[in-house]
Structure 1
């Protein structure tokens, strides 16, 4: 039989090392699905229950493997549903290829069914975005799509009318200039090395610094040893942006943990008192947490030159891979004898960790959300992969679950969307079948895509879903109160028995209500050989307090209570009781 456009597309994917695609079949992609069926021994098709989950899974697959993540959806609504997950990939700079279908090529633009021109819709999200015009067009476009997604660490999108997917390919279809084989070579680009002039300037700045902070982000995830060696040589403190949680293990003597609203007090203190800031692979978006522009001299390492100086005015910009740049700095900077800045940070970290343990071991009823996170953190394996979600859950993940050397952790960083925790976990377990994979999520985020728990059951993926069930859109609730001083409104969620949902899907469900039972139930859940949901019923009135409460935030909080926030007395009592216990 003659080879089709769909067959050629799959050829290109195989050539580029694609081994997994997440998606849902549909009549707008039937030709591609048939081509995938014929190559099912080479590319796994993971069927999800919602296209948004497919895009999130492709993003998670890229995050956890470093390879090209691929998702596929049918024409019209299927392609539209991919968008949120694709924006997650765009904003966190992950290489993802989205494949969609269009209606019959000669009916596009005629108000036919599902007549959505997806290439136009994807103009903002994609670094490469093209419509395939026929079988002779496929190889060129698909090759450039894969190359662009990997080169620019972003989203590539290709869409093809359904009738053209089954078009037979032949050399006689080529245009005269479309010479066979002219655009098929794969590539292995060398990582850029910072310029000598910028390197000398960076060394001079670091040598002059007395109170150095290294801000480690997603770009430094593979430079753990280099970060610690540079910190040891310079007496620096390592603080971590959210996506850089796993850049350095939390038991490292050089790190004080996360920064920002979800961060730690010693990290914030280090940034407020440093005289030198080295930003390593991060464009942490919350500018208010950086040092004042005239307070600290700045050096930045980033593989993207457009991001140098984006958040903080730097005097030296090292364009290149973090690991390579840090190796060069380690060789050149002078040893710093004064360790007082680091020692103060270490003392602050010890005090902070005692506070985190106190919060994580409370026996109050209803159970505090920190308890489940603390108990989970103690039980994660050294090679665990943890996917988090957005909301108050991210606060407990950032503070209460320490990262170990060898683990991987991620969440939706810059998009900060709800719902990717479950699809990320599915992707991680597909990629690493022998590793422990846990999704630590909230009840609001999980319920958005919870039907995809059945995907884990279908493919026998032993993921563990730990749900922080506070019966609320908690982050929104506290933002309404603390950011604006408004009473909380429409944030309560109708309860769902998530353990029963898990059982209905064919998995295993557990429920935790009492902190005394938390550890034992988590042990049973983590030991179960199949997919599991653990429904942790926690205090809905426990606030995700910032490390340092600002006077304006406290005033807004009091104003919100006075203006009629539901359960105002209970909330006030909870906050007062928590703070009184910590002071005592």
Structure 2
């Protein structure tokens, strides 16, 4: 058979180490599908039910492996569906390549069926974005797309018209003098760890050598440097705060961490930010500045591999452009150990008290089931190498506070985009890269319903993924956000009839069960986690359990009360739940 352009494209992906493409066929990518068929021994194609899920799978794969994730969609609506998952990759700096189709070049601009200019559509999301118009551009454009995705930690997009996809690989209809030929081989382009200059490190040593109260804020950009961060915390006597995306950077039981920051964070972390004079920011561009110190009130040292992010959130006295691990390896030998441990000890005690408060809410006797209890059961029964892929919404609060990172556990969610629905697609994408690990997709009922067809995908590929639905039959996070604004809830409860998600799981060929009583939860969860294939556990949790912030501010409390006065329809049930929470904490010996 004559070699076609798509065959060369997919082969070039394989040369770059790509082993999986997530996608959905269509008439706009039939040539690309033939390229995949001819390279099936090198690149696996994973058939999904929705292109958004394909983009989420590629993003999850990239986040977990550090290697480029690849998704594929047809022209027009298929490519449009990719957008949400691609923005998730872009905002969380994951290297992803999107391949899309396009109508034949001869009809472009004629309002042909499904003619959508996908390069214009993706102009905002992609760091590299190219329409292929000549077979000679490939595989050179593949090299450039992948290099851009790796170097700029973002999304690359190649749009290939139908006629180019099936054209002979050697065709050059315009007889160009210098076609865009690639190098002979595709070297892996991950780059070397970047280390700051010695002069900048000396400046950092001078700042950190001054006595004072220091805190460390670690984000997902510091992943893999946890032991070095703990060593830094020990040298400086500094507590470590973690962003939500950076939850797995440091074990939750580390003696140095106060836990998370922000709406889903802890009270000790919030107190700490107003009780320091120096902040060390490692691999984070945490956007919620109201949870950070007042600009100018603290001295800031920030380490980030991307120079443009340094100083975005706070005025930065010492900017260190570099990989976090490489930077700390160069910095630590230059630092003296501080002898005053009182600042660290203060927040270690506060963190122990906070953990006791959270444990008190994990009440196994509460009916309806407390979502904190569900999260604690997952934490107790999950394996030491469990990968938890979490949805956005209230479920992220319960995971942040009650799922413990220790051992080899990992945690993924849509960080800066905070999109609903990525939990299950993430789990599928990452499981295919690490098939020996345990995978749990923790989702709200709203998020699961959006891409629930992908449970069928998990069943088709026989992936041992456990989906756990924190089912409050509502859009829980939006409900509480409305109340914090001082408004009664509106349009956020799904009501009846409720979907039978367990029956859906069984219909797909997986294990499905629903739990409504707290006494049945632990055994049902153990059974789902032990199931050798896809399993789904639909857990009816208390819909009136509020995801309270670490500390309730005056305005939040005032607006919450105003919501009651303005006719909050479930105020009695919410008040009862809040009373039960306080009672549980008092029984546990915890008081404000």
Query: Normalised by the size of structure 1, how large is the TM-score?
Result: 0.98
Match of 2:63 in 1: 63
Asked if 2 retains the 8 angstrom alpha-carbon contact of 1:425 and 1:463, the reply is: yes
Cα displacement string for residues 356-396 of structure 1 (whole angstroms, at most 9, x for unaligned residues): 11111341111111110001011121111110010001100
Match of 2:177 in 1: 176
Match of 1:490 in 2: 491
Match of 1:231 in 2: 233
Match of 2:150 in 1: 150
Query: Normalised by the size of structure 2, how large is the TM-score?
Result: 0.96
My pick for the range that moved more, 94-103 or 291-300, is 291-300
Match of 2:357 in 1: 355
Distance 2:331 2:8 in 1: 46
Match of 1:527 in 2: 530
Distance 1:444 1:420 in 2: 12
- Among 392, 408, 411, which residue is 2:410 paired with? 408
Secondary structure in structure 2 of the residue aligned to 1:82: helix
My pick for the range that moved more, 210-219 or 455-464, is 210-219
- Among 324, 345, 369, which residue is 1:343 paired with? 345
Distance 2:59 2:36 in 1: 20
Distance 2:32 2:180 in 1: 24
Asked if residue 303 in structure 1 is aligned to residue 305 in structure 2, the reply is yes
Distance change >3 Å, CA 300–CA 574, structure 1 → 2? same
| CA positional deviation for 1:577 | 3.3
Match of 1:124 in 2: 124
Match of 1:249 in 2: 251
| CA positional deviation for 1:59 | 0.3
- Among 504, 508, 518, which residue is 1:505 paired with? 508
Asked if residue 561 in structure 1 is aligned to residue 548 in structure 2, the reply is no
Match of 2:34 in 1: 34
| CA positional deviation for 1:572 | 2.1
Match of 1:108 in 2: 108
| CA positional deviation for 1:318 | 0.7
Distance 2:180 2:104 in 1: 27
Distance change >3 Å, CA 552–CA 36, structure 1 → 2? same
Asked if 2 retains the 8 angstrom alpha-carbon contact of 1:108 and 1:117, the reply is: no
- 1:117-516 residue pairs with structure 2 within 5 A? 117-170=117-170, 175-178=176-179, 180-181=181-182, 185-186=186-187, 187-482=189-484, 484-494=485-495, 495-516=498-519
Backbone CA RMSD of aligned residues: 1.3
My pick for the range that moved more, 326-335 or 50-59, is 326-335
Secondary structure in structure 2 of the residue aligned to 1:72: strand
Distance 1:61 1:105 in 2: 33
Distance 1:41 1:9 in 2: 15
- Among 546, 550, 559, which residue is 1:547 paired with? 550
My pick for the range that moved more, 300-309 or 205-214, is 205-214
| CA positional deviation for 1:2 | 2.1
| CA positional deviation for 1:536 | 0.9
Match of 2:54 in 1: 54
Asked if 1 retains the 8 angstrom alpha-carbon contact of 2:296 and 2:315, the reply is: no
Unmatched segments (≥5 aa) in structure 2: 588-592
| CA positional deviation for 1:114 | 0.4
Secondary structure in structure 2 of the residue aligned to 1:499: helix
Aligned residues: 583
Distance 2:387 2:86 in 1: 21
Cα displacement string for residues 386-432 of structure 1 (whole angstroms, at most 9, x for unaligned residues): 10010001100100111113111110000001000010000111111
Distance 2:215 2:122 in 1: 39
Asked if 2 retains the 8 angstrom alpha-carbon contact of 1:143 and 1:184, the reply is: no
Asked if 2 retains the 8 angstrom alpha-carbon contact of 1:213 and 1:278, the reply is: yes
Asked if 1 retains the 8 angstrom alpha-carbon contact of 2:140 and 2:180, the reply is: no
Cα displacement string for residues 152-177 of structure 1 (whole angstroms, at most 9, x for unaligned residues): 11000000111210000227655112
Distance 2:217 2:284 in 1: 7
Asked if 2 retains the 8 angstrom alpha-carbon contact of 1:209 and 1:276, the reply is: no
Unmatched segments (≥5 aa) in structure 1: none
| CA positional deviation for 1:326 | 1.1
Secondary structure in structure 2 of the residue aligned to 1:273: coil
| CA positional deviation for 1:179 | 6.2
Asked if 1 retains the 8 angstrom alpha-carbon contact of 2:511 and 2:534, the reply is: yes
Cα displacement string for residues 59-85 of structure 1 (whole angstroms, at most 9, x for unaligned residues): 000011110000000000000000000
Secondary structure in structure 1 of the residue aligned to 2:164: helix
Asked if 2 retains the 8 angstrom alpha-carbon contact of 1:209 and 1:275, the reply is: no
Distance change >3 Å, CA 181–CA 295, structure 1 → 2? closer
Distance change >3 Å, CA 488–CA 188, structure 1 → 2? closer
Asked if 1 retains the 8 angstrom alpha-carbon contact of 2:143 and 2:182, the reply is: no
Distance change >3 Å, CA 364–CA 18, structure 1 → 2? same
Secondary structure in structure 2 of the residue aligned to 1:450: coil
| CA positional deviation for 1:545 | 0.3
Cα displacement string for residues 225-268 of structure 1 (whole angstroms, at most 9, x for unaligned residues): 10111111111111100110000001111111111110011111
Asked if 2 retains the 8 angstrom alpha-carbon contact of 1:133 and 1:164, the reply is: yes
Asked if residue 20 in structure 1 is aligned to residue 11 in structure 2, the reply is no
Asked if 1 retains the 8 angstrom alpha-carbon contact of 2:3 and 2:168, the reply is: yes
